Amino acid sequence: MASLSLLTSNHPLAKSLEKNWRADYTFGPPEKADILLVAGGDGMMLRVLREYASQKIYGINCGSVGFLMNTLHSENLKDMLARIEKAKEIALHPLVLEATTLDGKRHTAKAINEVALLRRGAQGAKIAISVDGVMRMQELVCDGVLVATPAGSTGYNLSAHGPIIPLGSNLLALTPICPFRPRRWRGALLPAHSSISFEIIDPDHRVVGVSFDDQEIHGVTHVTVKEDSSQKLAILFDEDHHLEERIIAEQFLS
């Protein structure tokens, strides 16, 4: 059996599992473990993926949606260990963003689900969009626009009427958020190797921030987003309920 470490959120169920499981099993430090057992929600999973990007992670859903987590079938630790041994590995590639802010500073960060540009004032944002150096939209007037990975396509992207993307499709979703002009533009599917650049028009008056998973940079003037194909994030899913199946099933829900 691979060495395990246990990480939990502050959710009451997660803390209850931690108390019971630590009484029956000696978990090692996360830095040295082969597999990280994470009890919590998607937010907890995203934090662990960022901090321990080189290790395999098996998540247990203790929140509401838990799209990146497995369903808790039994609180018995032996049952849990048996499921981990049979789990399938899914490889995810994060997004890397480079942002320039109003003060001229440059920021680099990574995102697992999506990168979203959002207006931070009463006026709509005005954003020019280029793909691989080619200007594709001179001016998008909107509340915002986002780039989603396949794993993130069922989250904010889906709520913004973006497409669900199956894993392994090598695609990214470019989706507007409440577009005003052009009003009928619903976004685009782009090859995963695309470099997508956003130029904020009149950024001093039409202030825009960029959010990536659960973090944010305020007052951006330019943002570039692309997939980091060199980094593989390994998530373990139960054989009967893995992420790829959930993405397919989500497309048939009313």
* Residues with a known catalytic role: 42
Q: Which residues lie closer than 8 Å to 70 by C-beta, 6 or more apart?
A: 58, 59, 60, 61, 83, 87, 236, 237, 238, 241
- Return the number of other C-beta atoms located less than 10 Å from residue 49's C-beta: 25
The helix-helix angle for 77-86 and 12-24 (nearest 10°) equals 90
Cβ atoms of 146 and 177 closer than 8 Å: yes
- In angstroms, the CA 65 to CA 41 distance is 7
- What is the C-alpha to C-alpha distance for residues 75 and 20, in angstroms, rounded to an integer? 9
